[in-house]
Amino acid sequence: MKLLYPLSIQNDFVFNSSPRDFTVEEIPLYEFSGEGEHLVIKIRKKELTTWDMIAIIANHLGIKHSEIGYAGLKDKNAMTIQHVSILAKYEDRLKELKHDNIKILEVTRHNNKIRVGHLKGNRFEMRLKKVLGVQKDKLDSGLEWIKQNGLPNYFGNQRFGTDGTNWEDGKKIIEKKLKINDRKLREFLVGSYQSYLFNNWLAKRIEISLLLQKYSETESESVLSLPTGTLEGTKEQSNFFKLLRGDVMMHYPYGRLFDAEDLANEASRFAQRDISPTGLVPGMKTTRASSNAGVIESAYDESIPLQGARRYAWIWATEITKRYIPEKAHYELGFILPKGCYATNVLDVLRG
């Protein structure tokens, strides 16, 4: 799967996804009340998946894994800080938990169990290595572009497995060419195929945006063999990512869906980061794009026996920080992304 990025700076640097060089901290959706029958535990972990951590806590407390609430899944190959919840009656037993890769930072009372999605986003800290003078300038330039324009919201490589082929098994399952009895594994593989289709749709839309930087709407339609008028109203838009009539938009960073009809108005709101276009994660019971946007989207839509969704196509990194350490050739980078977004997208844009 070839993904397209809006920059062509061709920057080489080294990034090791490890607890020493990669930190992820969850930003809760709301403040915890300080009272109630649940305990919210702020935990720092390393070299463990969220599922590994939950299993360790559950086994220590002697409870079911499902009794532990969490907002999102965090990387194994990073130092991560996240919140989980348990019933307050286990507080004394929790104090006895000792594990080399788990540290409890805070414990707070709250009124309810944490649920999946109960977070605003994540704060990422990354150390890039072997960054020499010219590369440092390219990183500075790339970060400035991201600050001004945002970045594509591809699904990360984690969705596709070590060799990047999980989606192929997911496709075979849908086509009834492969049978997997384990429901969770089956849904994971089919979900990988959903992600593959979304990523390819997004790559096509970025290809369109890149073409429109050099060619007219009519010329771009010809190059891409699109029906005449598909790209009407795109060339004049100031944003890098061009909207099409019929795009399914969503208020940003969360909110309701609606169709793009007045392109000039929606493009202005998009530039102000009030709304953003969404792409289809194909499946059941989800909204499809219409009109010109539907022409593009339909090529990446399939009948999939899982719940479908709309996912932001374009996002913005906020609170971007940087620090260059010339004697070590290290470039320390920090930023916040909305929930469900991958830090590797920032690195991929910076690499070009």
Tell me if residue 119 falls in helix, strand or coil: strand
296, 297, 301, 307: CA torsion to nearest 10: 180
Helix 133-149 crosses helix 344-351 at what angle (to 10 degrees)?
A: 120
Residue 305, judged by CB atoms within 10 A of its CB (0-12, 13-18, 19+), counts as: exposed
Catalytic annotation, pick one of 12, 21, 75, 274: 75
Q: Give CA–CA dist 174/187, Å, rounded.
A: 10
- H helices of the chain, in order, are 50-61, 91-94, 133-149, 166-174, 183-214, 217-224, 263-271, 291-297, 344-351
Q: Give CA–CA dist 152/161, Å, rounded.
A: 21
274 is a catalytic site residue: no
Q: Give CA–CA dist 137/134, Å, rounded.
A: 5
Sort strands 79-87 and 22-28 into parallel, antiparallel or unpaired: parallel
Task: List active site positions.
Answer: 75
